[in-house]
Amino acid sequence: MIFRQLFDPQSSAYTYLLADPASREAVLIDPVFEQARRDAALIDELGLKLAWTLETHVHADHVTGAWLLREKLGSRIALSGASGAEGADLYLQENELVRFGKRHLEARFTPGHTSGCITYVLDDRAMAFTGDALFIRGCGRTDFQGGDARTLFRSVRGQIFSLPDGCLVYPAHDYRGLTVTSVGEEKLYNPRLAESIGEGDFVGYMTNLGLPHPKQMEVAVPANLKCGRPEKAAAADPLVDPAWAPLTYTFAGIWEVQPHWLEEHLRDVQIVDVREPDEFSGPLGHLQGARLVPLGSLNEKIDLLEKARPVVTVCRSGARSAHASVMLGRAGFDKVANLSGGMLRWRAQRFPVEGGSD
Ligand SMILES: N[C@@H](CCC(=O)N[C@@H](CS)C(=O)NCC(=O)O)C(=O)O
Ligand SMILES: [Fe+2]
């Protein structure tokens, strides 16, 4: 199976990508609104088709990317029938199976953090995605959204601790940077829910957590009750592409432009070639109108470039220029793209150069 654990640093939230390698069908558990572009880039680069986005629950601390991904990739949205959310394609019933290719996840109802929490268990019980029901040596709070400590205790003991000890547990959050645990480990060492601890002890622990409400709660809960559909569609949409060129966003975080577009728009952009002088005048030649600014001197010469006009960075293979595009972005240039494949692809596609040899 194809499996990736993705992280959103703002909310310390994990998103999980699972895919069946033969059919390329994929599911994404708990996508984050601001990371939708990243997730779409990864799905594209791995050659996957996103069948479902699955919510473990209505999040209180970040907005889901489910609606955005449905708009962009045609995925369908599923979450618990007990979530109270509108706009989903499927409201999961207890123990319903969500299929992707030859694999499936089972939706186990694990309420207590919220009343609509689901733990998704992989078909072979090797992995469980517990949302905020069970964290690594912790658990989600129970003081809002229909939360209830006794209910959570029974969910974890009944629905999660009944899985094999070797089942890996992937939570929706970790606030210390830990990534994975197992059922057996949590049964022994979870300070709130280990098997040696009683229900009354747990309730006492949870009643006295004294946590402030999540900073984004007033925004996140209403948005998630609409599966992440924004009030004003385009305004906050992180998937609206820059208007100046048909750019591609890579999972590496780089905006790229293709040679055929650049060939037709050479005069509309500033071309910054970040190779060394001997390469610029060497056998590969250079693009018409390109300005030579070797990568090592880009920072000191950055003021020579106009911020208002788009910049396309170029090098031999597209690697150094990718870094240059990131440097320009950090310096406040908002219309920057890297020439995909650099001079090598430009030449391979037989576009014209100045200088160089055949
Ligand atoms: N500081 C975070 C707190 C987020 C929070 O309260 N997270 C919930 C899950 S939605 C939780 O259960 N946290 C448990 C904890 O912080 O121990 C924020 O403001 O976003
Ligand atoms: Fe939560």
Note down pLDDT in tens along the chain; length 358 residues: 999 999 999 999 999 999 999 999 999 999 999 999 999 999 999 999 999 999 999 999 999 999 999 999 999 999 999 999 999 999 999 999 999 999 999 999 999 999 999 999 999 999 999 999 999 999 999 999 999 999 999 999 999 999 999 999 999 999 999 999 999 999 999 999 999 999 999 999 999 999 999 999 999 999 999 999 988 755 556 677 788 999 999 999 999 999 999 999 999 999 999 999 999 999 999 999 999 999 999 999 999 999 999 999 999 999 999 999 999 999 999 999 999 999 999 999 999 999 988 7
Q: How far is the CA of 214 from the centre of ligand 1 (A)?
A: 6
**Residues 198, 25: Cα–Cα separation, whole Å:** 42
Query: Residue 62 CA: which ligand 1 atom is closest?
Result: 20
Decide: 211 in ligand 1 pocket, CB within 6 A. yes
Locus of tokens 């005048």? 281
Whether the predicted model's global pTM rises above the 0.85 cut: yes
The confidence score (pLDDT) of residue 357 equals 87
- Of 276, 333, 279, 280, nearest to 304 (Cα)? 333
How is the chain split among helix, strand and coil, in percent rounded to 5?
25, 25, 50
Q: How far is the CA of 327 from the centre of ligand 2 (A)?
A: 36
The confidence score (pLDDT) of residue 239 equals 72
Q: How far is the CA of 84 from the centre of ligand 2 (A)?
A: 15
Q: What are the C-alpha distances in Å from 350 to residues 49, 242, 281, 322?
A: 33, 27, 18, 22
Rounded to 10 deg, the angle between the 36-45 and 66-73 helix axes is 40
The confidence score (pLDDT) of residue 233 equals 59
Backbone angles phi, psi at 112, to 5 degrees: 140, -45
Decide: 30 in ligand 1 pocket, CB within 6 A. no
Q: Whose CA is nearest to atom 4 of ligand 1?
A: 214
Q: How far is the CA of 165 from the centre of ligand 2 (A)?
A: 25
- Of 229, 2, 226, 175, nearest to 100 (Cα)? 2
